[in-house]
Structure 1
Amino acid sequence: MTSKAFAFYGSDGRQVAGTLEEPATTPRGWAILAHCFTCGKDSLAAVRISRALARAGIGVFRFDFAGNGDVATSPHEPQYATNVADLVIAARVMTAAGMPPGLLVGHSLGGTAALEAAGELPEIAAIATISAPADAEHVLKHFAARDLERIEADGKAEVQIAGRPFMIHRSFLDDVRNHDIERRVAALRRPLLLLHAPLDDVVGVEHATRLFHAAKHPKSFVSLDEADHLLTRAEDANYAASMIAVWASRYLRPLSFDIPQTEAAQGVAASETRAGKFQVEIRCGNHGLFADEPVSVGGMASGMSPYELVAAGLAACTVMTMRLYADRKGFPLERAHAVVEHDKVPGMEPSDRFTRVITLDGPLDDNQRGKIAAIADRCPVDLSLIRGSDVQTRLSDQAVGQAHSSER
């Protein structure tokens, strides 16, 4: 997974800063994430959700709405209609760049903006909102009554919201009051996922009820349980992203393998040797080896651990895939080498991280080296790890000794 800058010119002619979170493998699709009213593209929730979706194979573009993110104007000057228009432009710019978005994800007021923008983007296959209000005017509840009075009387006023200064114009008040979100949702007739925390004290869960009733099927609701409105806990953001990824996979394009598996794998058998606590003999056809655990956890260190075997599969597949690709392209690759390490990352969902370091020998130019390295992310084992697999279990009627002898 990599992050890189991606910018475009918004509806008001200014350059909009954004970040692309690219999957480590062939994307199953692309999404745009719209952040909340008092947030920016680099808020905790925006970053965590984007990266969790990227780990699930969905590339995500997140950018700063006008007046909400890292812009030169101070105090910030948000414009709701500009936010909606910028989402539409962002989708078209991504499509032109070869990253057509099929999913819109919106957090809080960004959710209502996503619902409105989707009405102008027939190519969007599905929309997911997190803690979204059923009316844009709800954002005015952030304002003190005296601030609203000053804005109405003077045409604009600086107000403090969530500890940040915002310059609010009367046009902003008029703008958010003139949008019928529930009518927009009823007209969408596209898959909608609503995620909301029952204890949300900023946007009550009744807003999710209103949006759910307004929407046509297919529509779904996921409770975020004890999460707060801004999803400040990593586990809440990761949970929301995992739910979105699983749900959206039904509506995004089918998964494809860039490099097919050249031959179906034979069955692999593992059986305890009873020499030591963990030692296992592994057989596959005429091939055999031992697996074990380190001495520090009670093993004999007589073979690779289970996760090391998985890492070995990824490393082997990586090297084979690069060789296959280099030969196909006629690149002068003399030897390929890959080192894969496995770690558990606290706070990340899923928590498994495989780190791969590739070495390429031969008179390759920078373009050839880049293409070979990129194809490593498309090897079949990589895709299986990134996308997930179906594991089925059944109980054999044979005794262990009978099964072991029959496999030989």
Structure 2
Amino acid sequence: MPTHRITFPGHDGSTLAARLDMPDGPHLATALFAHCFTCGKDIPAARRIAARLAGMGIAVLRFDFTGLGHSEGEFANTSFTSNVDDLIAACTYLDGDGKPPSLLIGHSLGGAAVLKAASQMDQIKAVATIGAPFDPEHVTHNFADALPEIIAKGVAEVSLGGRPFNIGKGFIEDVASGALTPAIAKLNAALLILHAPRDEIVSIDNASQIFLAAKHPKSFVTLDNADHLVTRAADAEYAADVIATWAARYLPLKPPAPPPGAPEGIVRVSEADPNGYLQDVMSGPNHHALADEPAAYGGTNRGMSPYGFLSAGLGACTSMTIRMYARRKGWPLEHVSVDICHDKVHAQDAETGSGDKIDTWRRRIYLTGDLTGDQRQRLLEIADKCPVHRTLERSSEVLTELVDGSA
């Protein structure tokens, strides 16, 4: 997916840093992502959700709130209300750029912010929250020991996640008066609540309160054993899949017909975990799979290996080709299954010591049905005519170009 670095003015005129993740194909809708308290736009959960939605044709703007990440401004002067105003400023920017948002996604305090902001954005069709507090004041428990100093001095430095932040008295007073019940009650959009039952930062009770305060349509999905920051790749991937699937019910995601002669589509493979080998495999807007290496080779074994995908292509094409031929002939074929085994073996005609190898696929085809011997033999011959089989047996050419992905 193309990712563009952009900036726009925040609630007080400070320049806010953002990333706009665009679909590779048609742009069908736009989402706005609000990060968790003192986090940033580039946390793993935000990146994965943005990637999955972009694969569906939904552009995603994720930005750093005022005073955080690469955004300008003083964090000590911000508040819950200023976060809401930054969201509205982001919406204004997208409106002016011809990409009005219809989906809001918020993580933790960002979830509370999108609930508050949605009531001021008439075009929003769907809102999704992840580990959001029902009461914004809940966030103050992260620095409860510093509250007396903040109130007495007007500001104090606290440590959050091992990083120092200056928290102002205005923030404390603002979250204390930031009740969400009125905003949730008049929410004119579908609501998805994602929350982990064992969340130790924002308890599951908050999700229940948000759900009860909201009108239908509303959905509540558990994140099982995920932590509050959704740091594990598997948990972030699950949240992304749920949001992407759910959003399709409320956003008009019907892509326009391709122009005559357009290729079938693009398969985009991108890293899901830069610390391992897990890969996101997106084929157009609707199909997603994972590729990985076995644990013995440093992977996490959460998806097929690249050669596994190659074998799967051969097996699927074989089965489909047999079925199409039997259907056209009207033969009583009840079921087809294909087992594929892949090996690399030294080529018999390779020069001694060259180390050259050839690939061997061993294919077993199982046919069920009242077929004659001649029909079975003919279907075996047809298997060798499947397009993927022919591609593997022919010489192929791979043309590669390097594209600057830093834009």
| TM-score (norm: length of structure 2) | 0.66
Q: Is the 8 A contact 1:75 1:158 kept in 2?
A: no
**Map of 2:111 onto structure 1:** 111
Within 2, Cα distance between the matches of 1:172 and 1:217?
Answer: 32
Task: Tell me the residue number matched to 1:100.
Answer: 100
Letter in 2 for 1:129: T
Q: What is the CA-CA distance between 1:38 and the residue it aligns to?
A: 2.4
Residue pair 2:16, 2:72 contacting (<8 A) in 1 also: no
Say whether residues 1:153 and 2:152 are aligned partners: yes
For residue 262 of structure 1, report the CA deviation from its aligned partner. 7.0
Kept in 1, the 8 Å contact 2:66–2:75? The answer is no
Determine the C-alpha separation between the residues in 1 that align with 2:318 and 2:59: 41
Compared CA separation, residues 262 and 70, structure 1 to 2 (3 A): closer
AA at the equivalent of 2:87: L
Distance (Å, rounded) in 2 between the aligned partners of 1:231 and 1:41:
14
AA at the equivalent of 2:220: F
Check the 8 A contact 2:29/2:253 in 1, yes or no: no
User: Once the 2 structures are TM-superposed, how far is the Cα of residue 205 of structure 1 from its aligned partner?
Assistant: 0.4
Correspondences of 1:3-402 after superposition (within 5 Å): 3-71=3-71, 78-145=78-145, 147-260=146-259, 282=321, 296=344, 298-299=361-362
Measure, in 1, the Cα distance between the counterparts of 2:389 and 2:164: 50
Note closer, same or farther for the CA distance 1:101–1:307 as it changes in structure 2 (3 Å cut): farther
The 8 Å contact of residues 49 and 240 in structure 1, kept in 2 or not, is answered as yes
Query: How far apart, CA to CA, are the structure 2 residues paired with 1:35 and 1:182?
Result: 21
Counterpart of 1:243, as a letter, is V
* Partner deviation per Cα, 1:245-276 (whole Å, 9 max, x = no partner): 1111111124122425679x9xxxxxxxxxx9
Q: Deviation at 1:282?
A: 3.6
Structure 1 residues 304 and 168: alpha-carbon distance in aligned structure 2, compared to 1, 3 A threshold: farther
Q: Which amino acid aligns with 2:212?
A: H
Matched letter for residue 64 of structure 1: D
Return 5+ residue gaps in structure 1 as ranges. Answer: 266-275, 286-290, 310-337, 341-356, 360-408
* Partners of 1:77 and 1:166 within 8 A in 2: no
In 2, the alpha carbon distance for the partners of 1:17 and 1:75 equals 14
Residues 34, 305 of structure 1: CA spacing in aligned structure 2 closer, same or farther, 3 A cutoff? farther
Q: Is the 8 A contact 1:293 1:303 kept in 2?
A: no
State the 1:20 CA deviation.
0.7
Q: Give distance in 1, aligned partners of 2:170 and 2:319.
A: 71
The amino acid across from 1:247 in the alignment is W
Q: Does the residue aligned with 1:17 lie in a helix, a strand or coil? A: strand
Give secondary structure in 2 for the equivalent of 1:112: helix
What is the Cα deviation at residue 144 of structure 1?
3.0
Question: For residue 7 of structure 1, what is the amino acid of its counterpart?
Answer: T
Kept in 2: contact 1:125–1:190 (CA 8 A): yes
The whole-number CA distance in structure 1 between the counterparts of 2:213 and 2:321 is 57
The alpha carbon displacement at 1:74 in A equals 7.7
Instruction: Give the root-mean-square deviation of aligned CA atoms.
Output: 3.5
Pair 1:262–1:298, CA change in 2 (3 A): closer
Check the 8 A contact 2:66/2:74 in 1, yes or no.
Answer: no
What amino acid is aligned across from residue 131 of structure 2 in structure 1?
S
CA distance in 2, matches of 1:126, 1:279: 42
Q: Distance in 2 between matches of 1:307 and 1:113?
A: 54
SS of the residue 1:238 aligns to? helix
Deviation at 1:304, TM superposition (A): 7.3
Alpha-carbon distance in structure 2 between the residues aligned to 1:222 and 1:308: 45
Structure 1, 20-29 or 111-120: larger mean CA deviation: 20-29
How far apart in 2 are the matches of 1:121 and 1:339?
Answer: 48
| CA separation of 1:36 and 1:303: change in aligned 2, threshold 3 A | farther
Q: Percent identity?
A: 43
Q: Judging changes above 3 Å, is the alpha-carbon distance between structure 1 residues 306 and 212 closer, same or farther for their aligned structure 2 residues?
A: farther
Q: CA deviation at 1:96?
A: 1.5
Structure 2 stretches of 5 or more lacking a match? 265-314, 326-337, 345-359, 364-382, 392-396, 403-407
SS at match of 2:224: coil
Q: 1:181-224: CA deviations, max 9, x gaps?
A: 12210111321000000010000000000000000000000000
1:16-67 Cα shifts (integer Å, max 9, x gaps)? 1000111121133110000000210111222222122222322110000012
Structure 1 residues 262, 51: CA separation in 2 closer, same or farther (over 3 Å shift)? Answer: closer
- 1:26–1:215 Cα change, 3 Å: same
Q: Is the 8 A contact 2:196 2:222 kept in 1?
A: yes
Is contact 1:66–1:79 with CA below 8 Å preserved after alignment? no
Q: For 2:23, give the aligned amino acid.
A: P
Instruction: Give how far 1:77 is off.
Output: 5.4
SS in 1 for 2:138: helix
